[in-house]
Structure 1
Amino acid sequence: MIHYKAIGKIMGALLMLLAFLMLPGLAFSFYFGSQDEMALIGSAFISFVVGASLYFSFSKQDQNIRKREGYLIVSLSWLFMSLFGMLPYILSGSIQNIPDAIFETVSGLTTTGASILNDIEAMPAGILFWRSMTQWIGGLGIIVLTVAILPLLGIGGIELFVAESPGPTSDKLHPRIRETAKRLWFVYLGLTILVSILFHLGGMNIFDAINHGLTTMATGGFSTKNASMAYYDSAFIQYVAIVFMFLAGTNFTIIYFGLIGKFKRVWKSDEFKTYLFVTVFLAAAFAAPIYYYSGQEFEKSFRDGLFQIVSLITTTGYVTADYTSYHQGLTLLFFMMLFLGGSAGSTAGGIKFVRHLTFVKNTWLEFKRIVHPRAVVPLKINGDRVTGKIITHIMNFLLIYLMIFVIGSIVMTLMGYDILTSFGAVATSLGNVGPGIGQVGPLDNFAFFSPSAKIFLSFLMLLGRLELFTILILFTPFFWRAN
């Protein structure tokens, strides 16, 4: 039996938290006189009242949370956050219809970075800050934040952490899940502050520096400028963005071990070494072709290529150049990067390098097993043997991911969009990247899609952000059967 009352209480706590997170934007509303303060206050008030009603209605109920409740809570929390997170857009009039507001909010919370806004710079300052905040909130996961807070309310957190991070890794910085979440968030907060300071030193005003700091560490890609990072024709700013996008795409436990000097633990990670090698290799391989086709000086060509590669691999989605303008072959290679993803345990979306690494290693070992059928050839990651259960889980994930991409592309073409645009929209939404190919290239946005297409793509964003199984399991009949 599912404990719905416990779920209701947690939904209430999340909505109250969301209400408080809406308020920091008021400082910019008053400072810039953007006249959107009432929209933020009204949205926070509605979220808090609904949240408090849910929380205190179930405050005395049994709070025993099992794995089943964990998956349901994670899925519902992202749905609730999306529905209430769109209120500032609607109440301020910045976005005037619900499908557009849902799309922009889901894109923010899932750190996808796709947008329906045609003139970002015309947005009120407070709303623009809230837009960046949605990505920062979603960056490391709403639930990872709340597992550090909910124990104070008498609610356990381990089941929620498992549901939020259903990937193949299970590293913990501390045996207590609350301490793990807190340390991850301190690293996340510290890096966000540092990159914001560096952006400001590089020439951004304080408002732009904070906003870009929030969305860089979230690997979200929302910018305060219509031209994204291309607006800042500064090598310093763009190289800073490259470094911190790469860090944000790294497993945060690896960053933590690096910060405390445990470099052997860092280099022991096969995923990190693969992530680093692939990034460096692609940057070197793309440098000459981009230099040839762009006609720019070599340093600018190298920087643009490296920026786009890191941005796509980490699913950040910032752009400094139109990568579809070089050559069709390069466009195809950039498109394939939409399926890489950063590291497990990072703020990046996508398939994740550890899954690709496991697939490649297992495929290679399968050839060896064919030649030596009686040999026991274990698959190892980070020196540890990977169980058959995990390998099966990864193979199923890759197959389902591919199936959803194909089915989603067919659905988009049936809605009337050309096949290139359908491929690009589905791949970038499912991978939580932002820019794609076709009519959703790096210089385009998603405003032209129909309301039904925007809702469908929003669903794909949520599906990709929660790594498929967390949502798909809700559509199975046995999930709802009583024990």
Structure 2
Amino acid sequence: MIHFKEIAKIMGALLLLIAVLMVPAVIFSIYFGEDPWPILVSMCISSVVGGIFFFSFSKQDQNIRKREGYLIVALSWVFMTLFGMLPFILSAEIKSFQDALFETMSGLTTTGASILTDIEAMDKGLLFWRSMTQWIGGLGIIVLTVAIFPLLGIGGIELFVAESPGPTSDKVHPRISETAKRLWYLYVGLTVAATLLYWVGGMTFFDAINHALTTMATGGFSTKNSSMAYYDSAFIQYVAIFFMFLAGTNFTVIYFGLIGKFKRVLQSDEFKTYAFALLAFSVILFYPIINKGGVDYELAFRKSMFQVVSLVTTTGFVTDDYTQYGQGATFVFFMLLFLGGSAGSTAGGIKFVRHLTFVKNSWLEFKRLVHPRAVVPLIINGDRVTGRIITHIMNFLLIYLLTFVIGALVLSLMGYDLPTSLGAVATCLGNVGPAIGNVGPVDNFAFFSGSAKVFLSFIMLLGRLELFTILILFTPFFWRAN
């Protein structure tokens, strides 16, 4: 049977953690002379509910199995969204439940799609909390909680497996809690570095820390209405490109690079494919930008590389309206919504390792047809990929495609035009932000109906937790007793 009391205890711990993470937003509210009470009341509500859940079941010590792991991950995103949206609702900055749900889910899933039409008019404390939701969701609140679970007397291996982005689970340390801690140390360190460089580049400290939070989370929320286009600075844009690239890289690869194990970095087929693809698409899209005229070569390449890195890493920052460079370029940018970053990164999307597995296995299938008796293994990162993993990836790709098609069909039936429906579902499922149609890089999602926003929020959750973690809850055998 499922240990619901243990799940309630963990939900309580998560809510207490959310309350603590609201503290910086309160500080910024007070510093800028704003009303801190909406965030303070939200902290109190989260603390009280979290405290009741946690301390009522604090003596629970059942082992967390796979079923509990999936439930905890799914419910944690629901709880974080419901309590994370309280500051927006209590402040009346976002008036409707559907809008607050969409904005908070977009933050926590690091999608970056927004319903706000005037971001700069929002209180600074709320803007910081909005950015913080993306930073929390970036590497996953579950991984953070796994790092502190030993202090709570809770084991965390099943949670890490259920939440970790991507099909691989390379570990930098044999103990799961140590892995989570080291990943978060790296995450925090890179966020601090990005903050300092943005600040040096000319941003205010407030803008610098907000953009650093959302860059490393590959989220894309900005404190400016025009996103990164507001900063007409080559330095700032190159800093953003660099840290978006790092955020879309497998964090274990970054870790091994930092400790000098460069052989491990070079052995990563996914990293090499990821880096090559970013460069290749930047070169391809350089030409329609330069042909448009009005820009020099450096600016054209910077525009191309920024948008390619932003979309592939699912960050969603904008420096230009890429739909103005012709239908061919627009279609290429639309295709980038389906790539995703590396497994084990903060990026969303399908992930390069899945694409790499699909392409390599498809190529080897031709060889198997010619030599049916030959044993032709699939090798990635120097290791043989088992048939079970290949099947899992193929199933994922098929379900991802079906989800995209069905989602676009649902929006179309709601009355939205086809380009907008395709773009909205693609960008929400891939946790990207901008797309095509009426949700292009200079548009937002405010025009969608309340029901459409709730539907797209669910699509964002599906994409962030990589389909299976959510869809498995709708299968009858998941709930059957052992």
Q: TM-score, normalised by structure 2?
A: 0.99
Give, as a single letter, the amino acid of the residue that structure 2 aligns with 1:11: M
Query: Is 2:22 aligned against 1:7?
Result: no
- 8 Å contact kept, 1:132–1:214: yes
| Structure-1 separation of matches of 2:165 and 2:341 | 15
How far is the alpha carbon of 1:293 from its aligned partner? 1.7
After superposing on structure 2, the runs of 4+ consecutive aligned residues of structure 1 that deviate more than 3 Å are none
| Structure-2 separation of matches of 1:138 and 1:108 | 7
Q: Deviations over 1:434-466 (max 9, x none)?
A: 001000000000000000000000000000000
The equivalences for 1:289-304 within 5 A come to 289-304=288-303
| Structure-2 separation of matches of 1:288 and 1:406 | 31
| Structure-2 separation of matches of 1:341 and 1:326 | 22
- 8 Å contact kept, 2:165–2:345: no
- 8 Å contact kept, 2:61–2:154: no
- 8 Å contact kept, 1:89–1:127: yes
The equivalences for 1:62-101 within 5 A come to 62-101=61-100
Query: Is 2:308 aligned against 1:309?
Result: yes
- 8 Å contact kept, 1:192–1:217: yes
How far is the alpha carbon of 1:133 from its aligned partner? 0.1
Q: Deviations over 1:5-58 (max 9, x none)?
A: 0000000000000011011111211111122x1011000000010000011111
| Structure-1 separation of matches of 2:85 and 2:453 | 14
Aligned residue number for residue 164 of structure 1: 163
How far is the alpha carbon of 1:166 from its aligned partner? 6.2
Aligned residue number for residue 436 of structure 1: 435
What secondary structure, in the 3-state scheme, does the structure 1 residue paired with 2:147 have?
coil
User: After the TM superposition, which of the residue ranges 217-226 and 18-27 deviates more from structure 2?
Assistant: 18-27
| Structure-2 separation of matches of 1:310 and 1:62 | 44
Give, as a single letter, the amino acid of the residue that structure 2 aligns with 1:10: I
How far is the alpha carbon of 1:150 from its aligned partner? 1.4
| Structure-1 separation of matches of 2:296 and 2:173 | 48
Q: Deviations over 1:44-90 (max 9, x none)?
A: 00001000001111112243211110000000000000000000000
Query: Is 2:180 aligned against 1:181?
Result: yes
| Structure-1 separation of matches of 2:423 and 2:34 | 35
- 8 Å contact kept, 1:294–1:301: no
What secondary structure, in the 3-state scheme, does the structure 1 residue paired with 2:434 have?
coil
| Structure-1 separation of matches of 2:147 and 2:45 | 25
Aligned residue number for residue 335 of structure 1: 334
| Structure-1 separation of matches of 2:443 and 2:317 | 12
| Structure-2 separation of matches of 1:83 and 1:192 | 26
Give, as a single letter, the amino acid of the residue that structure 1 aligns with 2:478: F
Q: Structure 2: which 5+ residue stretches go unaligned?
A: none
User: After the TM superposition, which of the residue ranges 26-35 and 448-457 deviates more from structure 2?
Assistant: 26-35
| Structure-2 separation of matches of 1:286 and 1:131 | 32
Aligned residues: 482
Query: Is 2:31 aligned against 1:31?
Result: yes
How far is the alpha carbon of 1:295 from its aligned partner? 2.9
The equivalences for 1:11-22 within 5 A come to 11-22=11-22
CA-based RMSD of the aligned residues comes to 0.7
Query: Is 2:231 aligned against 1:222?
Result: no
Aligned residue number for residue 115 of structure 1: 114
Q: TM-score, normalised by structure 1?
A: 0.99
| Structure-1 separation of matches of 2:27 and 2:298 | 39
Query: Is 2:11 aligned against 1:42?
Result: no
| Structure-1 separation of matches of 2:169 and 2:315 | 24
| Structure-2 separation of matches of 1:122 and 1:414 | 34
Q: Deviations over 1:401-428 (max 9, x none)?
A: 0000000000000000000000000000
- 8 Å contact kept, 2:435–2:441: yes
| Structure-2 separation of matches of 1:121 and 1:294 | 31
Aligned residue number for residue 468 of structure 2: 469
Aligned residue number for residue 388 of structure 1: 387
Query: Is 2:188 aligned against 1:193?
Result: no
| Structure-2 separation of matches of 1:343 and 1:185 | 17
| Structure-2 separation of matches of 1:53 and 1:63 | 19
| Structure-2 separation of matches of 1:23 and 1:17 | 10
How far is the alpha carbon of 1:167 from its aligned partner? 3.1
| Structure-1 separation of matches of 2:166 and 2:25 | 34
Give, as a single letter, the amino acid of the residue that structure 2 aligns with 1:217: M
The equivalences for 1:206-285 within 5 A come to 206-285=205-284
Give, as a single letter, the amino acid of the residue that structure 1 aligns with 2:146: V
Q: Structure 1: which 5+ residue stretches go unaligned?
A: none
Aligned residue number for residue 357 of structure 1: 356
How far is the alpha carbon of 1:255 from its aligned partner? 0.4
How far is the alpha carbon of 1:269 from its aligned partner? 0.2
Give, as a single letter, the amino acid of the residue that structure 2 aligns with 1:173: V
What secondary structure, in the 3-state scheme, does the structure 2 residue paired with 1:226 have?
coil
| Structure-2 separation of matches of 1:287 and 1:413 | 33
Query: Is 2:462 aligned against 1:456?
Result: no
| Structure-1 separation of matches of 2:27 and 2:61 | 40
| Structure-1 separation of matches of 2:229 and 2:93 | 24
Aligned residue number for residue 202 of structure 2: 203
